[in-house]
């Protein structure tokens, strides 16, 4: 059976992706810093859940030892801190880079060899529309996601000869448990009107694109960044 490993699978985009890939026939291995949340997601999709701190290489290696094979890896775990660059503290910078950049790297290092052993696979890294728009007030988060895109292309080049495809998905304005406070009341409609397609996104909008990239339909797609944002990164609409 094909196996998909998903980080940050306890909620939001990770949970939606777990459900999508399970429907596509993958056995899902759900990883999350919150072990209970990982297990809960896994139970919903008849998969396996593990507590995992992606910033700790030893934690990642220990989990990888319990996973026999990996055909698809979704590096979804990510954090952000809301503040200006002038307010950026060393702790905030270290935390965001540790999860979004180093954590993604550690997990990929642990599971890519399993893909190579099986003859190849697909890696999908979660970037953000913020890497393109360089949104203010989110500290070092946009820079961390720009790094994700650079790492994605490097993976595609280095691991392509071993049959691994690596791509990135950049969500736009998506309502999840972690962002819903930004869409309360009239704000949801107001923010939706900023999107060319006229609405904010849902987790399944992202999960479906991830599902495509993990499928054989994307067999010749590698090293790409796909922004799933309703058209936001296409440019400003005319007034």
pLDDT (tens digit, 0 to 9) for every residue of the chain, 239 residues total? 899 999 999 999 999 999 999 999 999 999 999 999 999 999 999 999 999 999 999 999 999 999 999 999 999 999 999 999 999 999 999 999 999 999 999 999 999 999 999 999 999 999 999 999 888 899 999 999 999 999 999 999 999 999 999 999 999 988 877 665 665 666 776 777 889 999 999 999 999 999 999 999 999 999 999 999 999 999 866 54
Question: In a 10 Å sphere around its CB, with 0-12 CB exposed, 13-18 middle and 19+ buried, how is residue 40 labelled?
Answer: middle
Question: Do 67 and 3 touch, CB atoms closer than 8 A?
Answer: yes
Point out the residues that are catalytic: 141
Q: Which of 223, 234, 217 is nearest to 165 (CA)?
A: 223
pLDDT in the model for residue 182: 63
Residue 229: both structure tokens together? 């944002």
Question: In a 10 Å sphere around its CB, with 0-12 CB exposed, 13-18 middle and 19+ buried, how is residue 239 labelled?
Answer: exposed
DSSP string, 110-126: HHHHHHHHHT-EEEEEE
Spatial distance between the Cα atoms of 137 and 154, rounded to a whole number of angstroms: 28
Distances in Å between the alpha carbon of 27 and those of 3, 19, 39, 64, 179?
5, 10, 14, 15, 28
pLDDT in the model for residue 194: 84
Question: Do 129 and 179 touch, CB atoms closer than 8 A?
Answer: no
Which runs of consecutive H residues, i.e. helices, occur in 83-202?
90-97, 104-118, 130-133, 141-159, 187-192
* CATH architecture designation of domain 3-227: 3-Layer(aba) Sandwich (3.40)
Helix (H) / strand (E) containing 165: strand 164-171
């Amino acid at each position: 059976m094909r196996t998909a490993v998903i980080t940050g699978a306890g909620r939001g985009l990770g949970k939606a992706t777990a459900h999508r890939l399970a429907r596509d026939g993958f056995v899902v291995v759900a990883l999350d810093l919150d072990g209970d949340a990982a297990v809960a997601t896994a139970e919903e999709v008849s998969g396996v859940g593990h507590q995992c701190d992606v910033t700790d290489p030893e934690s990642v290696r220990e989990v990888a030892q319990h996973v026999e094979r990996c055909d698809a890896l979704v590096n979804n775990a990510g954090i952000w801190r809301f503040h200006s660059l002038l307010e950026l503290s060393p702790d905030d910078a270290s935390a965001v880079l540790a999860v979004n950049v180093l954590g993604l790297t550690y997990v990929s290092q642990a599971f890519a060899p399993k893909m190579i052993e099986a003859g190849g696979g697909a890696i999908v890294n979660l970037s953000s529309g913020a890497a393109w728009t360089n949104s203010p007030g989110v500290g070092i988060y946009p820079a961390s996601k720009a790094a994700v895109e650079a790492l994605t292309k490097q993976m595609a080049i280095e691991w392509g000869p071993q049959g691994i495809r690596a791509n990135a998905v950049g969500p736009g304005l998506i309502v999840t448990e972690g962002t819903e406070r930004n869409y309360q009341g009239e704000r949801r409609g107001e923010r939706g009107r900023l999107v060319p397609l006229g609405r904010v996104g849902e987790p399944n909008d992202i999960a479906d694109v991830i599902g495509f990239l993990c499928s054989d339909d994307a067999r010749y797609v590698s090293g790409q960044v796909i922004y799933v944002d309703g058209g936001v990164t296409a440019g400003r609409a005319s007034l």
